[in-house]
Each structure stands twice: as structure tokens, then as C-alpha cells.
Structure 1
Amino acid sequence: MDPVSVRPMSTNFFTADVVRGLTIAFGAAALTVADTPRAMPVVEQCLAIFSSVVWWTEGFNTLDVAIQSGLLSAILICAQHTLSSAAPRGICFLLRYVIGPATAYLESLLHIAQAYSVLSDTISNPIVAPASPHQSNIQIYHGLQSDGPISQWACDNVLCSHIQPKSDFKRCSGCQEVLYCSTQCQQIDWQRGHRRYCALYWTSGRDLRLSFTSSERRFLRAVVHKDYEDKRSEISQTLVTRWAANPAAEVMTIFDYRASELSVSLHGISMTGNGQPGSHWPDLLARASQSRGRLSLHVLMVPDGNGGRVVVAPLRSAASDFHDGLKMLAMKGIDDLLQISDFVRICHSEEVHCL
């Protein structure tokens, strides 16, 4: 089973009650495998139906109901009576394309972590044991809890980009989305172009708030920042290679969370996968171009059923030193990963993801 083979179900299936019933039915079928191995085709059919529901946006939104109704327990029961080399494709699909990616969402992560904690003493099957991607994200969540509710942010005058606690900034009174460290920075940004995009920022902000709570956005910022730090050397090497070939190249970094294994890639700014990540995207392109490396376009592909959702989380830097250093390496033709890793280690500007 793979995403291409999954077909949509009737919208009648996209309800919490139906998903709860499907989960319970899957659990009951899984229990029969221990005594009747020939029941596996029935389990596969249950998995196919369930996957056809949760793979689509409306069904994916009910995944938390399935987890609370015993989805992970049913998977474990089924896996315990299956050879690791012959794992049901439906289980592999759910773990790789549904349950693992769902840990990018805070609420789903907490439900998954709770379910795994209940099962932790019994999880030993090689199918399931490595498929608990929630561990690192739970550590991020606990780190946020200990840090308190204050988030760091960057001034939206990109030539300033001063980083300080978000609560210390002044919001634009029109869109309520862009933030400034001073009245002067607000005036500069208004003249730069915000006057043309203010209403669009309000629309994009409203859509984002309807999709993510402030806690979920803060968590997602922390997740992508950790992943960026982990991949910084490889990303920097790719940037240097691109700039060596074309010093004027403008790129964005895509973090794809739609499968359990994170995929990070760099693309030209015109490539956004499933469309523009918000109506303010053209202004973000202009900001990045004018920022002298203080705004880098980081685009997140997050799970949302079929195709996923595009979310932009710009990486803001307090200074241009790191960007300028990579440009210098490109001019010198230095693209060795070890040398770039050394540069990454010693040259750091204060950075924060904004979402």
C-alpha cells in the first residue's frame, strides 16, 4: 500500500463516530490474528478502509479520535503476531504516512505519546518499536514547557531584524500580524511595501489562526528550528554549491513532514509544491530579496490528509554574517562538507523561526 493507491471514501465516513467504530473494528480483527493467522486478509481489509479515511483531509482531522480509541494498541496486537519481514502493508502505511507525520501537530503528538507510554512495557516488535517518532518532539515540547510562554521574535523591518521577546514588539494596527521594535522601523517597513500587503497579511494570519492555535504554532516553530539546526551543514553546503553556480540565485528550503522520515531540500523560489503558502507570499519573496540574508524562506509541508498543507516559517537572523560568509565560500569555490561544517560551527548569528 502506498499513498497513490489509497482512494477516497464517501464523506459519510469522515466523522468521529465512524472513525471510532472503524478503529474498534480493526482492534477486534487484530485480536483474531493470534488464534487464526488466516484472518490476516481481514485485518488488511480493515487497514485499507481505515487508511482510505484518514489519508484525506477530513478523515485526518479525526486521527486523534482513532488514537484515543486504541489505534496504536490494535497495531501492536497485530504486529506482535507478524514476522517483521512480512508486516502488513497497511500497518507500514499508517506508521509512515499517518501516525509518524501527525507528531508535527502538538495535540496529536500528546495523544500519540500517551498511547505509547501505556504500551511502552510491551513494545518490542521491530515493526513498531522504531516507529515512535514522537520521542524527539516530546523532548521539544517539554523544553518549551520549561522555557515558559515567552517566544522570541524578529522585527519585521528586515534591515533591522532585531530579535527580542515577542511581547516587547509593537503590532501593525491594520493586519495585527507584522511586528516592529520601534515606530521608526514600522514607518520604514510601511514605505518599503507593507502598505500594499497589509490586508493580505490579515487574511493569511486569520487562516493560520483557524488552523493552528498559538501553542501549536510555537511548537511547530521549535520543531523546524531543531531540524534546521540538525541539517544546517548540509543545507549550507547546498546553498554554497548553488551560489557558486549562480551568485544571484534565490532559494527556499522545504522541510517535508508528510512522512515519518523528514525530507529537507532546496528549490528555486517559484516552486512551492501545493501552491503559495498564504496570500502574503509575494511580499515574503520581496522581503527575502531585500533582507541581505536576514530573512531566509523556510517552507513546511505538513500532513493534512491528501497532499498536505504548505506553511511558511521564515528564518530570521539578527545579522548578515552567516549569509555573507557562505557567499564568500561560494566565491572561493569551497564546497567541502567538512570545511563548511567548521564554518557553521564557528559563525552563528542569533536566529529565530517566525510562524
Structure 2
Amino acid sequence: MPNAPIHPCFQDQAVTRLPLTYRRLARSNDPRAPDAILDIIRSERLTPTQELGFLPLVYRCLDPATIPTSFEIDNVGLGVRVRLHTIAGALSLLVDMEKMPGDAVPEIWPRVWPWFCFIQEHGVLHPKRGPASEAQCFKRFAFYFIGKRDLSESMYQTLLSTPGFPKLVTMCADSAFDDAELPGEIDLALEEIPPFLGCLQVKPGSSMLAEIVEVAGGSLQDLGRLITKFFSVVSLQGHEEAAPIVAYQLIELISDVEGVLLRTPDWLDAVPGPLFNSLGTYDFVRPLIRVMSVILQLDITKRQNSSERDFVTKALRRCLILLHRLLIVNMGRATFSSALEAGLIPLVMRCATSRWAEEIHAPYIEPLFHWIIPAGFPFHSAILPMKLLTPPAEATQPAFLRSLAYENWLSFLQRGRPYAAVAASGCPEKRVCDNCGNAFPRDSVRRCSGCLTLHYCSTMCQKTDWRNGHLGLCSAYRDTKVVLSSKTPFHQRAYLRALADYELKTNLPEICNAQFAFLRANPFVRVFVTVIPLPRGPRERAKTIRVESAAATPLGVLSTGRDRAVWNDLLDRTVKSAGKMHMHVLQLPGEDVVVPLHTSDDKLFRGVQALAGRVGLELGADSNGEEEIRRLVESLDDASRGLH
């Protein structure tokens, strides 16, 4: 309403604050007047109190009724451009919010917002100066506006009542970092982050964050992209000092948003929310790991203030909590691969051995170690060199380096070094068709699209296997937990298959001895399994490899229907393979996993079987057949030991 009362600072009597020579200019309707006033203000010829005399002119220039239409922009051109540049000049007067009374802010905002949206959409070019900074003026105004710390609760509510205000939270920050790649703009962007985040970390009892999250709706995707941008910028070289404060504020923001969305005060105990899914879309784990690496490299010994050192430690701990949640609670194959490529394993090792290890390791580093122990082997190129794992002197050794988790890590790493090349491939160079039993190059064998477990060399073999029973067992293979099925993560399948293959190669004499003793005592058993216990750590000795009857092993009497059906089907396939398929059970800490392995021929199985039958007749009942087994192992070629 044109006759509605306005704040005194926007009324004509405010012009009397100006010197007499400028009063006529302030009352002028010339569209070039604000541009001239801007030059006067920049010349610093006026005091802050005198500058407020131009506010009535600014108020008139911001009238939403004068916003150009798309037709005017396309057809009028020069005059509209001049007017837009004038509006930007008027807004620049409002950038420093200390020059405007606090109670006048809610009144000017409804006029600022439509112009902000318009310039963000169309952009502005000054007719003489070329590319102008109108959008930058609006952006800076919005940053200072929403980041003002002393706004009252009523002012926040006024902002929230403005249509489209929640979208501004992501729009203005997104605009800031679109320009961050330009020279000199990164420092400016980093300066604007704290006040921007300050508007979200509002006073207790304020509903601003809840309103932003609920009203914005689909803008959570924009918020996820924005947070990823923030982390990417602070990890750039030359801006290391800003990393702790920005990372801490951003993680607090993530925590607050997840708490609002999930209606829970503790975001770590909740299921992954929409914002976490948004962060995963933008591959957030990469910049997070880079920021953590930057924080670890900071020299906190130069900081005499203990509160600063404590804050750096707190920021690193919050980053570690977020990394723990992203990888363990909301883990996917793409997230895992990105984390390894970004340096996950060296980062976790540095966290464990850093000067902050005592404060940050529990309970977040140890779960990460237990998780990446099997994960690191398929990607051995990312593993930290062993020389970097040498513990420091006992006097300065953190508690984590004396824990069982760290010893387990070293044990598995040292144990895996001889077959790192095998594990890196994730699977052998050849695959065996689960129907005909023949070996083919890996690229020519296709996996069943239903169970993602069995492989076939041709469509004919797949159809034949389906008619022979796989049609009814396909879903059981997909859902079982006792074999390497589609439910088993990719990196774990690759690691366990490589581990079973390595145990078969390195412990072949011991395995043959165990099979020989079993077949000698049980000559009528058709199918047996080789049980390989794995030590839990360097303090535990490796247990003896043993061979058991498939019917007597605990896996043979499974109570779960699906697991029992899959187990019986694997035993039938072992019998049909005529000695080419071998059943191995890896006894991991807390669980047993079945890993079927194939050989190119039946020399290994037939050789041990024939040797067990000859012992009583030719070698005598008291012979243990050790010499004969040694000769058998030496006579086997690579094709008989496994697929390569």
C-alpha cells in the first residue's frame, strides 16, 4: 500500500541529515542519482550518520513495482540496464548493516528479496563498464543480512514469513562459491562462511532451522551440494587455517538438519537421513578426507592458546565421527572406492599415530580399522607403506598403538603382503561356468542377474542350469549369508576369495595331509569340506587346518531353510564337478563363510583320494603318507593348484 506508514529512516525528513549540497540529489528521481551517491559515499566525504540521509532514495529505488519484465529486458536494453545498475548501487549502501537501525531491517527485506531473485536470474551488464558486480552486491548484502548475530526472534520470524527466504540460504552461498575459483575471491568467500553459518546456528528455541528444512523441501539437494563446496574450498592450498572452524560449523549444521528431519536429538544413533543421501550424491567423502588431512598437518604447537588447540582437536573429532557414519552406517561401494582413492587408509593411520590420538581415537578409529582390514587388500596400492607403520618410542606411544585393533591391523597387513597382487585383482583371470564346469576368460563369463553369484559361459548353460534347479534357488542364493552372495559387499567378496585362494596355494601340503587323514578314516564319504581357521591377531597362533564331512560340519545342519537349500545345492555341484570344485570354510572372528574354489583339472582331488586308498594296501597301515603327499604336491602344475 503506497500510503502505509514506513520507518522514519526511510521517510523524506531523513534527508535533512545530509549536507545541503546533497539534499537535492537525494530527492531527485533521476535514475542516475543513486550511482552518483555511491561515488560520494566511496569518497568518504560523509560521516556514517550523514550517509543515512540517502536511505529514502534507496527505499524508493527498491520498489518491487519497478522490477523490469522479461519483455523490457529483451527489447529496451540500455535504459533497463542503467536502472538495474542503479538498484545495485542503492543496495551497496545497505551492505554494512551497522549503518541501518535494527528495527528497520524487517521492513526493507520484502523490497530486497524480489530484486535479489531477479538479478540472480538475469544478471546485469553496465552499459559503459562492461560486466558489473550487481549480483555480487546482492550476494554480499544477503550474507551480512542473514548472518547478523543480534537479530531478535521477531526479526527471524519476519524473515521466515518472506516467501522464498529459505531458498536464499543455499542460493546466496552457492553464488559465492561459483565465483570462488576467480583470483582473490576465495578469501572473500571464506570470510563470508562464518556469518552464513551463524544464521543457521540460531539461539535455543528458534524454529528457523526447522522452517528452512521443512519449507525448503527439495532444496536439501542444494544444501548437500553447498556443504560439499564448502569442504572443497577450505581444503585448497593456502587456506589451511580456516579448515577447523569451517569444518566444525558445517558438521554442526549437518547434525542439526538431520536432527530436525529425523526428530531425534542424537544424529549418530539415527538411520541415515535425506541429507546424508544428498551428500553421498555429491561424493562428499572425498573433500571430507582432504579437510581432515589438512587439519592433521596443522602445527598446533605454535598456538599458545590452549582453547585454540582444543578447538582443533574438537573439529578433527567431529570430522572423524562424520567419516565413521558415512562409511559404516551409510556405506556403499561407490563411497568406499572414493574413500580409498582419496587416501582413507593413510588418513586413519595418521589419526591413530597423531598427537591427538589419545583424545580422538575412541570409539571411532577402532571401528574404522576393523572395517578397512579386509577392505584394503583388493586395493593394496592405497595401503600405507610398512615403513610408515613403525610405532614410535614406548614413552610417547599413544594408547591406540598398544590396542588389539592396531595389532590386528599390522597382522593382517603383514599377512597379506605376499599375495597382495592376487587380492588386488579381486578375482582370478579365469572364471568357471557353474553349469559345464569349464574355465573361460573372465570377460567372456556372465553372472546371473538374479542372484549375482553364479556364472555361466553361455545362454544355453544358463538355461540348462535353471531347468536343473537354479530357477527355484536363485532368490536363496541372493539372500543367503553363508556363501559369497550378492549380499556380501564387493570388497569383502574379493578379499575372501583371494584369501581362500592364497591359503590353498601356501598351505597345500598341510591341506593335502588333512584330506589324506580324513579320507583314510572315512573312505566312503563322497563330499568333504576344508576348514581354515584364521587367527584373530598376532598373539593368537594359527589353528590346525582340518577336514570334515559335509554332513557333519555345522553348516550341514543349518536350521535356516534358504541357507540349507544353498548349502545342499553347493554339495551337489561339488559332486558333479568330479574333483574340480573344492569347498572351503573360512573361520573368521565371529562367523564362518563358505568359499567354493575351482581348479582347472581334478589332479589334486584324485591324487589325494588315490593315495588314501593305496596306503593300506601298498604302504602299510602305519604309514602317514607324508613323503607321497610331498611328491604329489611337487608334481602338480599351476593349473592343478587353482585358476590364475
TM-score (norm 2): 0.35
Quick check: 1:103–1:137 contact (8 Å CA) kept in 2? no
Number of the residue aligned with 1:325: 607
**Aligned ranges 1:101-140 → 2 under 5 Å:** 105-107=374-376, 114=384, 117-120=387-390, 122=392, 132-133=410-411, 134-140=413-419
Measured after TM superposition, the shift of residue 350 of structure 1 is 4.2
Pair 1:153-2:431 in alignment: yes
Pair 1:168-2:407 in alignment: no
User: Is the partner of 2:384 in helix, strand or coil?
Assistant: helix
Number of the residue aligned with 2:630: 341
Q: Which has the higher strand share?
A: 1
Quick check: 1:253–1:265 contact (8 Å CA) kept in 2? yes
Pair 1:257-2:511 in alignment: no
Number of the residue aligned with 2:517: 241
Q: What is the count of residue pairs matched by the alignment?
A: 274
**Aligned ranges 1:298-309 → 2 under 5 Å:** 298-303=584-589, 308-309=590-591
TM-score (norm 1): 0.60
Number of the residue aligned with 1:141: 420
Q: C-alpha distance in 2, partners of 1:243/1:346?
A: 21
Pair 1:297-2:583 in alignment: yes
Q: C-alpha distance in 2, partners of 1:208/1:173?
A: 12
Q: C-alpha distance in 1, partners of 2:428/2:582?
A: 23
Please tell me whether Structure 1 or Structure 2 has the larger radius of gyration of its CA atoms.
2
User: Is the partner of 1:105 in helix, strand or coil?
Assistant: helix
Please list the CA deviations of residues 266-306 of structure 1 after superposition, one character each: whole Å capped at 9, or x if unmatched.
Answer: 22213555785946222112212232112111112223xxx
Please list the CA deviations of residues 102-151 of structure 1 after superposition, one character each: whole Å capped at 9, or x if unmatched.
Answer: 775124998995396434274799x9999732123144334554x69874
Distance 1:155 1:351, change over 3 A: farther
Q: C-alpha distance in 1, partners of 2:438/2:533?
A: 29
Q: Which amino acid aligns with 1:118?
A: L
Q: Which amino acid aligns with 1:251?
A: F
> Could you say what the CA RMSD is over the residues aligned between the two structures, in angstroms?
4.7
Pair 1:194-2:456 in alignment: no
Q: C-alpha distance in 2, partners of 1:137/1:288?
A: 28
Q: C-alpha distance in 2, partners of 1:109/1:295?
A: 24
Number of the residue aligned with 1:270: 551
Q: C-alpha distance in 2, partners of 1:100/1:352?
A: 31
Quick check: 2:584–2:595 contact (8 Å CA) kept in 1? yes
Please list the CA deviations of residues 237-269 of structure 1 after superposition, one character each: whole Å capped at 9, or x if unmatched.
Answer: 121222122222222112223513443322221
Quick check: 1:151–1:218 contact (8 Å CA) kept in 2? no
Distance 1:286 1:123, change over 3 A: farther
Q: C-alpha distance in 2, partners of 1:99/1:266?
A: 34
Quick check: 1:101–1:259 contact (8 Å CA) kept in 2? no
Please list the CA deviations of residues 57-95 of structure 1 after superposition, one character each: whole Å capped at 9, or x if unmatched.
Answer: x9xx69x99955855779x99xxxxxxxxxxxxxxxxx9
Which 5+ residue runs of structure 1 have no aligned equivalent? 1-14, 17-57, 78-94
More off after superposition, 326-335 vs 274-283: 274-283
Pair 1:203-2:479 in alignment: yes
Q: Which has the higher helix share?
A: 2
Quick check: 1:102–1:108 contact (8 Å CA) kept in 2? no
Quick check: 2:505–2:641 contact (8 Å CA) kept in 1? no
User: Is the partner of 1:137 in helix, strand or coil?
Assistant: helix
Pair 1:284-2:573 in alignment: no
Q: C-alpha distance in 2, partners of 1:149/1:105?
A: 15
Which 5+ residue runs of structure 2 have no aligned equivalent? 1-267, 270-324, 330-343, 359-365
Matched-pair identity in %: 22
User: Is the partner of 2:468 in helix, strand or coil?
Assistant: helix
More off after superposition, 311-320 vs 187-196: 187-196
User: Is the partner of 1:292 in helix, strand or coil?
Assistant: coil
